[in-house]
Amino acid sequence: MSTEANVALLRRAWDEVYGKGCVDSIGELVLDDVVAHEPDGDVRGAEDFKQYLTTYLAAFPDRSVTIEDVVAEGDKVVSRYTVRGTHKGVTDEYGPPTGREVVIQGITLYHFKDGKLAELWDLYDNLAVMQQLGSMLEPERPSPS
């Protein structure tokens, strides 16, 4: 596939899956043996990836997604994004719902193969998310002298 086709597939994935919550599109978008390198561990295979996304989409049901930047070359595409939402569902990583609003900013590198997503590396400030949820205390700042 062309670089432009990979970018179009990435934008479709963000719109359908993250924006609209259509996890049934996963089979059309990723390879069966897709690997997602997430901050809390790797997710392997299309079915596990679908379940992983289902959990997070349910945890932040009112989320809004903004793709800030997209850079592509060959079979790799990078997106910088901002996700805003209210923590209303359980996840292993963030625990029970807190009802708190969060802003998650991140960058993901995607590798495409045979017209589908083959592997991704997702990086975001997980500590900042946990602090916004009240799971981690903010570090004390030294008082000015």
Q: What is the pLDDT of residues 97-126, one digit of tens each?
A: 999 999 999 999 999 999 999 999 999 988
Predicted local distance difference test score (pLDDT) of residue 57: 93
How far are the Cα atoms of 30, 32, 94, 100, 126 from residue 123, in angstroms, in the given order? 19, 22, 16, 22, 8
Mean per-residue pLDDT, 47-58: 93
Q: What mean pLDDT is predicted for residues 37-46? A: 92
- pLDDT at res. 137: 59
59-103 pLDDT, tens digit per residue, is 999 999 999 999 999 999 999 999 999 999 998 888 899 999 999
Structure confidence at residue 139 (pLDDT)? 60
Helices (H) and strands (E) in the chain, counts: 4, 6
Mean pLDDT of the chain: 91
Amino acid letter at 91? T
Query: What's the whole-model pTM score?
Result: 0.84
pLDDT for 138 equals: 58
What is the per-residue pLDDT for 95? 86
The domains of the chain are located at 3-132
Fold of the 3-132 domain = Nuclear Transport Factor 2; Chain: A, (3.10.450)
